[in-house]
């Protein structure tokens, strides 16, 4: 009886949940055909304030593992900044096995950053903890340039400012798009006559799916921003 009553009570909730998921899926599918995901991602990367002057310390935030695409792009951008700002120190923060942290430092050295400029901090399981670790490392807070993935940038800059790094600015590690139309001849490469020819539509083959992934990435980040706000971390 109890199970039957519980199932009767939960059935309407389950139906509403399914409807909500269906509506959300439809909105995301339609949105992937627009530039909204691109603009949302761009806002996350730039709205907290990008660096427009040399900083005293370049901070590379880890967490994606080494080697990985996101981490290597961050290190590439940090090495560029280190060359532009020769007086700046470089701090690399990464939790877990020190081998990943050492690999990050080695990658920076490979790209021309001297070893004596690099400080390694093997701690920080989320952005808040990384900010606290860096806060404990400096008595007098320097100006810092935070290098992280674009989707994390807004939350990262606000989190570090919250723990006394008032001169924190962001350096989003943007991917660089390949400017090529990617058209091909459907029949020339053996495409079947009965299969839809999308050889001249790279937007459907690539952009739609990339924007769909961006929607998930941005949605996750907006939830994280809300969580940090509720905890008074930003």
Indicate whether 157 and 74 sit together in one domain: yes
Residue 202: what pLDDT? 82
Number of domains in the chain: 2
**pLDDT at res. 1:** 59
* pLDDT in the model for residue 227: 97
Q: What is the dihedral of CA 74, 75, 81, 87, to 10 degrees?
A: 130
For residues 165 and 203, membership in a common domain is answered with: no
For residue 96, being part of any structural domain is answered with yes
Name residue 57's beta-bridge partners.
Answer: 89, 144
On whether residue 147 sits in a domain, the answer given is yes
Tell me the C-alpha distance between 186 and 173, whole Å: 36
In this structure, what are the phi and psi dihedrals at residue 142, rounded to the nearest 5 degrees?
A: -85, 170
- Contact 156/148 with Cβ under 8 angstroms? yes
Q: Which residues of the chain have pLDDT under 70?
A: 1-8
pLDDT score recorded for residue 95: 92
* Same domain? 152 vs 205: no
User: How confident is the model at residue 7, as a pLDDT?
Assistant: 65
150 & 224 share domain: no
The pLDDT score that the predictor gives to residue 128 is 97
pLDDT given for residue 2 in this prediction = 60
Q: Residue 208: give the domain boundaries.
A: 198-234
pLDDT for res 117: 97
User: Are 160 and 208 in a shared domain?
Assistant: no
Cis amide prior to 67 (ω within 30 degrees): yes
Contact 173, 100 (CB under 8 A): no
In a domain, 209, yes or no: yes
């Amino acid at each position: 009886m109890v199970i039957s009553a519980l199932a009767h009570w939960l059935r309407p909730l389950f139906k509403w949940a399914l409807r909500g998921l269906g509506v959300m899926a439809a909105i995301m599918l339609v949105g992937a055909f627009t530039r909204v995901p691109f603009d949302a991602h761009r806002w996350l990367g730039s709205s907290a304030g990008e660096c427009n002057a040399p900083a005293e310390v370049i901070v590379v935030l880890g967490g994606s593992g080494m080697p990985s695409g996101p981490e290597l792009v961050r290190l590439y951008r940090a090495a560029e900044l280190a060359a532009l700002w020769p007086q700046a120190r470089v701090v690399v923060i990464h939790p877990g096995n020190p081998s990943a942290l050492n690999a990050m430092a080695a990658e920076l050295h490979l790209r021309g950053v001297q070893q004596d400029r690099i400080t390694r901090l093997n701690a920080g399981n989320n952005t808040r903890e990384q900010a606290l670790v860096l806060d404990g490392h400096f008595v007098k807070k320097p100006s810092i340039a935070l290098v992280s993935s674009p989707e994390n940038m807004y939350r990262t800059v606000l989190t570090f400012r919250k723990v006394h790094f008032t001169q924190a600015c962001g350096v989003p590690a943007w991917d660089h798009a390949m400017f090529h139309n990617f058209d091909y001849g459907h029949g020339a490469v053996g495409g079947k006559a009965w299969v839809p020819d999308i050889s001249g539509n790279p937007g459907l083959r690539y952009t739609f799916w990339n924007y769909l992934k961006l929607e998930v990435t941005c949605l996750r980040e907006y939830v994280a921003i809300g969580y940090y706000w509720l905890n008074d971390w930003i």
